Amino acid sequence: MNKNSDDGERINLLGMTRQRLESFFVGIKEKPFRAKQIMQWIHHRGIIDFNEMSDMSLKLRKTLSQIAEIRLPMVVDERKSADGTRKWLIETSGGGVVESVLIPSGNRATLCVSSQVGCSLDCSFCSTGKQGFQTDLSSAEIVGQLWLANKSFDVFQSGKGRMVTNVVLMGMGEPLLNFDNVVSAMNLMMDDLGYGISKRRVTLSTAGVVPQLDRLSRESDVSLAISLHAPNDHLRSQLVPINRKYPIAELLSSARRYLSSLNDINRRVTIEYILIAGVNDQLEHAIELSKLLKSFPCKINLIPFNPFPGSIYSRPSKRAISRFWKTLVDAGLIVTIRATRGDDIDAACGQLVGRVIDRTQRSTRYDKTNINPVNLRNSL
């Protein structure tokens, strides 16, 4: 264990891609294959203490402990829902707090990962947006959420394989506005020497930052989800303000370009559509949406609005939700309704706010659970 892991002077190897690690080792006059070895230790075996890396010479281990570290983000709270969902509150190096949620379902386990502390986009239905933007997460803080989720299930030691099968960048933040760190972290998630998750099972969700989406098509081939939420620009601009800059037609063209860059006719964009009572859930909206997406290669995921304190919206009735769903299905679209999970621990979509905002009020922060801050790095 690195005792001085907070001194900020050592280079953190946790979030480095294979390529960056190779350059790092070449830079210290070591062979590039060291990258492979260290990645297996960190991401396959969960080992973060250089002293335990037995296939490296003592001399190299000593050098590494002097100049580098494997620094995980700090877990300040972990909650378990009755339905198996788990949520971690993670403090970032800048002091802000993000959340990461694991949703088990059959033989899948999907980890919902955060990419920023807060968010600058201020979508009217989203609690994260209400706190504004604070900071970007580093690549290590993004991939660290996956490491921590695996660790909490003890998969590293037990050799039970990997716990997390799917990753969605649908936690806090707009991933395309933290482009470089998000792309590095996703590459590491997909690398066999990292977590080996297939590109189809890593999904980036965006509210529609068009220039960055175009850049993504040149640099990545992960699955794409678009937060659409409205069938026309007038309504969408009220719900998702970035629509005023990049309207629906531009966003869908960019998403199409992204899909064609994948060179695989079987891949589709996921269209996320929050259903908000009386706002975007009427028959006319469903009809307009089905026309808009009729020839767009997508599957639609309807998300019943999840309320949070202070929100002005409410969730439609079950009847209204199924009526909306049926209108789209009858128009020939592929549509699913997202089940709400982890409601009892505020882990549902749009309910992620970090909650722990003021560092000076640490003693009052855990009133819900009475869990003391746990520095996982110290407890390993």
Closest to ligand SAH by CB, 67 or 339: 339
Regarding 227 and contact with ligand SAH (CB under 6 A), the answer is: yes
Residue 306 is a binding residue for ligand SAH (CB under 6 A): yes
- As measured in angstroms, the least distance from the Cβ of 186 to ligand SAH is 14
User: Looking at 144-152, 153-161, 203-211, 318-326, which segment touches ligand SAH (CB under 6 A)?
Assistant: 203-211
- Regarding 316 and contact with ligand SAH (CB under 6 A), the answer is no
Measured distance CA(326)–CA(288) in Å, rounded: 14
**Closest alpha carbon to 86 in 117, 114, 107, 109:** 109
Stretch in the footprint of ligand SAH (CB under 6 A) among 71-79, 159-167, 263-271, 303-311: 303-311
Beta carbon of residue 37, minimum distance to ligand SAH (angstroms, whole number): 35
Cα–Cα distance, 58 to 205 (Å, whole number): 44
Residue 316 beta carbon to ligand SAH: minimum distance, rounded to whole angstroms: 12
**Shortest spacing between CB 336 and ligand SAH, in angstroms:** 13
Q: In the chain, where does DSSP find H-type helix?
A: 18-27, 33-39, 58-67, 127-130, 139-152, 155-158, 179-190, 210-219, 233-239, 248-261, 283-293, 318-330, 376-379
Which sign does the torsion angle of CA 42, 47, 53, 54 carry?
negative
Q: What angle do CA 292, 218, 258 make, to 5 degrees?
A: 15
Q: Considering 91, 99, 141, 174, which one is annotated as catalytic?
A: 99
221 near ligand SAH, judged by CB under 6 A: no
Closer CB to ligand SAH, 136 or 272, in the complex: 272
99 is catalytic: yes
In the chain, what is the greatest distance between 2 CA atoms, to the nearest angstrom? 70
Asked if residue 255 binds ligand SAH (CB under 6 A), the reply is no
User: What's the angle, vertex CA 176, arms to CA 172 and CA 177, rounded to 5?
Assistant: 80
User: Which residue's Cβ has the minimum distance to ligand SAH?
Assistant: 350
Q: Which residues neighbour 340 within 8 Å (Cβ) at sequence distance 6 or greater?
A: 304, 306, 348, 349
305 secondary structure, DSSP code: P
Based on CB atoms, which residue is closest to ligand SAH, 110 or 205?
205
CB distance 52 to 219 below 8 Å:
no
The answer to the question of residue 222 lying near ligand SAH (CB under 6 A) is: no
| Residue 40: CB minimum distance to ligand SAH, A | 31
Q: Return the number of other C-beta atoms located less than 10 Å from residue 108's C-beta.
A: 11
Q: How far is the CB of 239 from ligand SAH (least distance, A)?
A: 9
Per-residue x/- marks for ligand SAH, 340-359, CB under 6 A?
---------xx---------
The stretch among 73-81, 204-212, 214-222, 359-367 that binds ligand SAH (CB under 6 A) is 204-212
Using CA atoms, how far apart are residues 10 and 17, in angstroms rounded to an integer? 17
Which listed residue (123, 126, 298, 349) is catalytic?
349
Name the site residues for ligand SAH (rule: CB under 6 A).
Answer: 125-126, 170, 174, 205-207, 227, 272, 274, 303, 305-306, 349-350
List active site positions: 99, 349
